[in-house]
Amino acid sequence: MKTDVQLQNNVTEQLRREPSVTSIDIHVAARDGIVTLRGKVPTYREQCDAERATLSSGE
């Protein structure tokens, strides 16, 4: 099982690599294996893309 720090780093890196996520105002936190994204994105589509990238970072 990944540590919270590993989860946070993996998600942050996945968001950086996802070309459809352009916002730099997304903050990633992980606690007890649960990842939380906070911040602002310009569109609902980008929110969905950030969520998808977060889910795929655990694979």
Question: pLDDT by residue for the chain (59 residues), tens digit each?
Answer: 889 999 999 999 999 999 999 998 999 999 999 999 999 999 999 999 999 999 988 76
pLDDT of residue 1: 83
What is the Cα–Cα distance from 14 to 21, expressed in whole angstroms?
10
Stated pTM of the model: 0.88
pLDDT of residue 59: 61
What number of other Cβ atoms are within 10 A of residue 17's Cβ?
Answer: 10
**Token pair recorded at residue 56:** 């795929």
